[in-house]
Structures are given as structure tokens and as C-alpha cells.
Amino acid sequence: MNGNNESSSKEAVVHHILLKGDGYINEVKPVKSRNDNEKDMYRVKMLMLHGNKEKPKREFYSLLVEGKQAIEVIEHIATSINDSNKKVSAKVALHKGDSSPFIFETGNKVGQLGVTHFGSLIGIRQLYIDGEKIFSLDS
């Protein structure tokens, strides 16, 4: 160890913000692996809710699905997630990463500024499709 408390190895130190919350999974897309030896992954778009239950604030997340359990659940219900006639809500755990601004192109906020947060979906505690519980860690 040297005098400035740095590790003598070149090992990277990574800090994570771990969040648990509720929201809606709106889309799932396959993501091609950079390494031919690895399985392709998935990215989901989520609308996370926080604050007052009657009128919650909303945040947009684009999450790479990384937790083994989360991958299995997402693979099982991908068709329902991508069906615009179905509402898929979930209680999840995620690592928050960077954020990026965007301009709304549709809906009642056209032209307004929004923010997408990026990160990793690491676990799903509960999952509902059209209000019916279809998965729970507690069961």
C-alpha cells in the first residue's frame, strides 16, 4: 500500500446506488452481447414512481437486465411487457447509473425536457400483469 491510501493493484473501484421501488415496465428489447461467448441480454424501459401514492412523481429508467432471477422473469413475460394493451407493474431492485436529458416527442409534454436514468435491473420482488400478481419472491 502506498502513502495516499490507493491500492497497489490496478483494480477498479466501482460505487453503486442501490434503489428499491415500484413502477411500470413498458418495453423489453434484446441487447446483443459484445462478446461472442456471452449470452445476449435485455434492456427494459421502466417508469418508476415515488412520493405521494395518490399523485406520484415519475422517473424514466432504461435498465440493462443483469440479475439472473430478473433475466429469467423478463424472458418469461417479454411478450406481455411489449403488448401495449397490458399493464405490467413491478417492485424491483436496481443499480442507478448515469442520467441523460431528452425532449418529449409525443403526448401532452411535446417539446418539454425530460430525463432518462440508466442502470441495471438486478432483481424483481413482485410482478403484476393487469393487476394480477404473477410472480413474488414471498411465494
pLDDT, one tens digit per residue, over 75-120 is 999 999 999 999 999 999 999 999 999 999 998 999 999 999 999 9
pLDDT, one tens digit per residue, over 29-74 is 999 877 777 777 899 999 999 999 899 999 999 999 998 999 999 9
Domains of the chain (ranges plus CATH)?
17-136 (2.40.50)
Cell numbers given for 110: 411535446
Is the pTM above the cut of 0.85?
no
pLDDT at 11: 75
pLDDT at 80: 94
pLDDT at 139: 55
Non-local CB neighbours of 72 within 8 Å, separated by 6+ positions: none
